[in-house]
Amino acid sequence: MIIIMKPGVDRSTIDPVVQRVEQLGLNAHLIDGEERTIIGVVGLPLPPTLEEQFETLPGVENVVRITKKFKLAGWDFHPTKTVIDLGDGVTIGGPELSIIAGPCSVESEQQTLDTARAVAAAGATILRGGAYKPRTSPYEFRGLGEQGLQILAQAREETGLKIITEVMTPSDVETVDRYTDIFQIGARNCQNYLLLEEVGKARKPVMLKRGLSMLLEEWLLAAEYVMAQGNPDVMLCERGIRTFETMTRNTMDVSAVPVVQSLSHLPVIVDPSHAAGKRPFIAALAKAGIAAGADGLMIEAHPSPDHAMSDGAQSLNLDEFAALMPQLARVAQAVDRSFTIAGVEAG
């Protein structure tokens, strides 16, 4: 940590700052510049709120933290990339690109099974489907609850797809755990820390969607909450951030893919459906995500999007999904990623 003093302050102001550093068991190194003094603070571990304690001391202009706040999610203590093994040869984070597909909401057995069969045939390995739905308005459809989970489990049994579904509150973790293969934490719950800890204890893989205005560092700290409970299997999902532009539902921050990969060993998934919010742009964003190096995609697909109970406008129909997959395989191949479609290795 570096403490930058205001220009022109003298020893009588600097000394108390140095003493405060030393009281905390840390060492202070002074650099006297021509305009001002800066104090390098050395010693480990730095308390996480250390900056705040110094920012308000007299004469201090600014405090710059150097060490990152996340540990488990970073490369320093985990120099190999995390590959999450879902069993039956399905992994996330390895050379194979993972395709997660399915409806926004589980609406019925038939809708879910039709979708599951179609996306499995087209090359997806994981089925998404919401049983508990966070909705902006209290008057909207909120999912089938445990019945939805049962339908997902039935789809898994029939198709062999792995399952991912959202859990919205700590008290539902146990129920969802009985059915799902991956816990999804939605963008609105990305800093619901007690929920993060609860799925951290559950020891099943967790996908953390990025919040609408979440800094990349905050995202990795959210992962840290899960990991600090002993659960190493976290993947991150970029699904668009909120900006001033209104022609897309969100703005897909495609640079999040390489930047997070430079900071963390965790797999990164891209969700072009929520990013675009509009069907015609999903294909382009899906390809961009793969080209940027994403470890997988999550795409909404529905047998009849214009009758969907949620997010129809951003869902592909099953034919569109099937037609998109070979295109995605070509891009995956172009960035040295393998991709299996219907038993045929494309990459």
Piece in contact with a second copy (CB under 8 A), picked from 113-121, 148-156, 173-181, 189-197: 189-197
Q: Of 181 and 198, which CB lies nearer to a second copy in the complex structure?
A: 198
Structure tokens at 82: 């995390």
Rounded CA gap, 166 and 316, in Å? 20
Tell whether residue 145 is a contact of a second copy (CB under 8 A): no
153 Cβ contact partners less than 8 Å away, ≥ 6 residues apart: 163, 179
Stretch that binds a second copy, among 67-75, 94-102, 113-121, 156-164 (CB under 8 A): 67-75
Q: Token digits for 280? A: 């015609």
- The residue assigned the tokens 């998109």 is 324
CA nearest to 301, candidates 273, 326, 281, 343: 273
Q: In whole angstroms, how close is the CB of 29 to a second copy at the nearest point?
A: 4
Judged by CB under 8 A, the chain residues 310 through 329 that form the site for a second copy are 310-313, 327
Which residue among 98, 279, 295, 301 contacts a second copy (CB under 8 A)? 279
Contact 203, 226 (CB under 8 A): no
Q: How far is the CB of 158 from a second copy (least distance, A)?
A: 28
Binders of a second copy among 4-63, rule CB under 8 A? 4, 7, 29, 31-36, 38, 40, 42-44, 48-49, 51-57, 62
Taking CB under 8 A as the criterion, which residues in 76-135 touch a second copy? 76, 134-135
Q: Is there binding between residue 192 and a second copy (CB under 8 A)?
A: yes
* Dihedral sign from CA coordinates of 255, 256, 257, 259: positive
Closer to a second copy by CB, 156 or 239: give it.
Answer: 239
Token pair 């706040």: residue = 69
Q: Which residues lie across from 338 on neighbouring strands?
A: 96
Helix axes 109-122, 318-334, angle to 10 degrees: 30
**Sequence-ordered list of residues with C-beta below 8 angstroms from that of 110, at least 6 positions apart, any chain:** none
Residue (62 or 110) nearer to a second copy, CB: 62
Q: Does 301 bind a second copy (CB under 8 A)?
A: no
Handedness of CA 169, 173, 175, 179 (dihedral sign): positive
Binding status of residue 257 toward a second copy by CB under 8 A: yes
CB atoms within 10 A of CB 39: 20
By CB under 8 A, name the one of 95, 141, 158, 344 that touches a second copy.
Answer: 141
Which region, judged by CB under 8 A, interacts with a second copy, from 81-89, 92-100, 145-153, 290-298?
290-298
Which tokens sit at 186? 């939605």
- Cβ 190 to a second copy, closest distance in Å? 8
Least distance between a second copy and beta carbon 10 (Å): 16
The Cα 32–Cα 48 span in angstroms is: 27
Among 85-93, 117-125, 157-165, 209-217, the segment contacting a second copy (CB under 8 A): 209-217
Residue pair 163/131 in contact (Cβ under 8 Å)? The answer is: no
Which of 261, 259, 196 lies closest to 230 in space, CA to CA?
A: 196
Nearer to a second copy, 64 or 342 (CB): 64
Count CB atoms within 10 A of the CB of residue 128.
Answer: 28
Write down the least CB distance from residue 162 to a second copy, Å: 26
Nearest approach, Cβ of residue 202 and a second copy (Å): 16
Place of tokens 């002074």: 30
Q: Which of 87, 139, 157, 343 binds a second copy (CB under 8 A)?
A: 139
Report the residue from 179, 183, 225, 321 that binds a second copy according to the rule CB under 8 A: 225
